[in-house]
Amino acid sequence: MKTFRIFFGLSIGIILFLFVAKIFFFAFVAAAIMSIIYAVFSRVKRLITYGQNGEHYMQRHNFNPGYINNRNDEVEPLFVDNMSGSRRTINNIKFIEAI
């Protein structure tokens, strides 16, 4: 009788374990499929409809014909002393020569 209880308990435990493992396996497969579908449809939606900021895709500044004519082709300076919120440059010549 004792061996029957052990066998019955082990069989119930194995059945429950396999059932839970099957549920987790199918849940992970479903999550993987849904994430792939979401990634594909979000890329397609972004290409067809609107940009990340809500503007229409063909009216973004990269595709605006006036953007090419309005841009400033001047080179920005690397070190500006009076910029607010910027890091100050090191003006120590000995430090620069050591590097």
23 in a structural domain: yes
Number of domains the chain contains: 1
76 in a structural domain: no
The pLDDT of residue 83: 54
The torsion defined by the Cα of 18, 24, 26 and 27, in degrees rounded to 10, comes to 160
The pLDDT of residue 74: 57
56 in a structural domain: yes
The pLDDT of residue 55: 63
List the chain residues with pLDDT less than 70: 49-99
Q: Of 90, 94, 70, which is closest to residue 78 (Cα–Cα)?
A: 90
41 in a structural domain: yes
The runs of H, that is alpha helices, within the chain are 2-48, 65-70, 93-98
The pLDDT of residue 46: 72
* Residue 6: domain span: 2-71
- As a whole number of angstroms, the distance between CA 15 and CA 22 comes to 11
59 in a structural domain: yes
- As a whole number of angstroms, the distance between CA 34 and CA 47 comes to 20
